[in-house]
Structure 1
């Protein structure tokens, strides 16, 4: 059973919004473009690994939790996938990288050799898994549960060629996930937890999940203002006769401005005023802007003249913080 599905990282929408509104010649444009590429590739790799779970049938009580983010006082744990079973807990660190990969056990360095012969030093995924294993072991100890914790590194694509392993660490290609589960079931044949306790443990883990805050980005003064066409990705939409229309294509939609409100939230903050929204979408008429904000049905504070609207976090580009534990 999947307790928490994987959702698109909100950073993707944030970076797409930023790149749509800054000039190509901006000094940070290449940096943000590359960051978007990496985050998107990572998400697609995780989705690829997720698809292999459909081939796996487990004859024991089990619960899957994707993208578990746990915020502690001085550190965080972001675990790509956790499988809680009645016999063991499996935690996966998923990597969407290519090239010749080398783990150095003495220096704890992890490197990649590219096709052109260049070498990139990267964060060691073995160390990341070790951190997660230790935290989970402590979590179980506090609840007086003696359940094995197994960490594995999964490379999403076959273009990742593993030259040297990370000691005894389980390192596999994503296609090997079904085989790994068969091996674990053969190695751990006795149930340690009942079905009810397995479920209780998984829910306790899920309740620790918190929303990862988006990084703060600063729009340059010369950012592009307006509501942009989602169809042709070229033109700026113009508002007339109560709808937004694109002059470059046939697209029109009276609710197209809602995307701009979502962009404002991830780029500028969770509150917005009439003046701020007028400036953001390049609309001159305060009365029209007031109607648009009212039609968006957002909660607000203050009187008509000094009204501040609260942009809900449930919009696209953010993760919902509501989990119905009663239905689990």
Structure 2
């Protein structure tokens, strides 16, 4: 069941509105168009993952898209959160093209696309940080301790991933692996940590 729908990020709507106001060939339009590409690509990637989410049992899974939560002074964002009575799972979505190499020793990712190399923050560390923040927030609001899994999902099937670490590589998956990964996780957690009343309370809370 979808508890929070996926919405177009505000930054995308703002940049689209800005581009409509800037005439062609005017200085600044190209920069605005370039700034739009990244969040737009990210949102498209998240929408691609929705295809696989549609196969989940609505009675078992509660789905929250685009949560922006706070722990006092700090805010954190999750692309998609799956909640069950036995565990929760954070899905971090990347709409990457080309080849990427994850370097766990340096906690960074190198993407090679169109003969160009770019460095990014390690998405696994980012998802792990989100899981810790979510656990703190749940505890602060009186919810029982519940296992929180996290994985990074690549929406483009043509993207090539490389990593010297098998453990690290197993945390970054193509989107079509989502259902099989959830099946594996379900086998690991047999104890219900949340009852239906707590699930409903949490859904209202967020």
Partner of 2:100: 101
TM-score normalised by structure 2 residue count: 0.89
* Structure 2 counterpart SS, 1:111: strand
Match of 2:54, SS state, is helix
SS at match of 1:24: coil
- Looking at structure 2, the residues matched to 173 and 87 of structure 1 have their Cα atoms a distance apart, in angstroms, of 24
Is 1:126 aligned to residue 124 of structure 2? yes
Question: Does 2:199 align with 1:201?
Answer: no
Structure 1 unaligned spans of 5+: 207-328
Per-residue deviation at 1:177? 1.0
Report the TM-score when normalising by structure 1.
0.57
Residue 58 of structure 1 deviates from its aligned partner by 6.2
Q: What is the alpha-carbon root mean square deviation over aligned residues?
A: 2.0
Are the equivalent residues in 2 in contact too, given 1:79–1:92 (CA < 8 A)? yes
Give the equivalent residue in structure 1 for 2:15.
Answer: 15
- Using a 3 Å threshold, how does the CA distance of structure 1 residues 94 and 77 change in structure 2: closer, same or farther? same
Q: 1:26: Cα distance to partner?
A: 3.2
- For the residues of structure 2 that align with 1:11 and 1:31, how far apart are their CA atoms? 14
More strand per residue: 2
Structure (1/2) with the larger helix percentage: 2
Partner of 2:175: 174
Structure 2: distance between partners of 1:43 and 1:144: 30
The correspondence of residues 138-217 of structure 1 with structure 2, limited to 5 A, is: 138-142=136-140, 143=142, 145-164=144-163, 167=168, 170-204=171-205, 206=206
1:173 CA drift (Å): 0.8
Q: For residue 27 of structure 2, what is the aligned residue in structure 1?
A: 27
Residue in 2 that maps onto 1:307: none
Structure 1 CA distance for aligned equivalents of residues 26 and 112 of structure 2: 31
Structure 2: how far apart are the matches of 1:170 and 1:201? 27
Match of 1:82 in 2: 81
**Do 2:124 and 2:172's aligned partners in 1 also have CA atoms closer than 8 Å?**
no
Structure 2 unmatched runs, 5+:
none
Larger Rg: 1
Q: How much has 1:100 moved relative to structure 2?
A: 1.0
For residues 131 and 174 of structure 1, the distance between their equivalents in structure 2, rounded to whole angstroms, comes to: 21
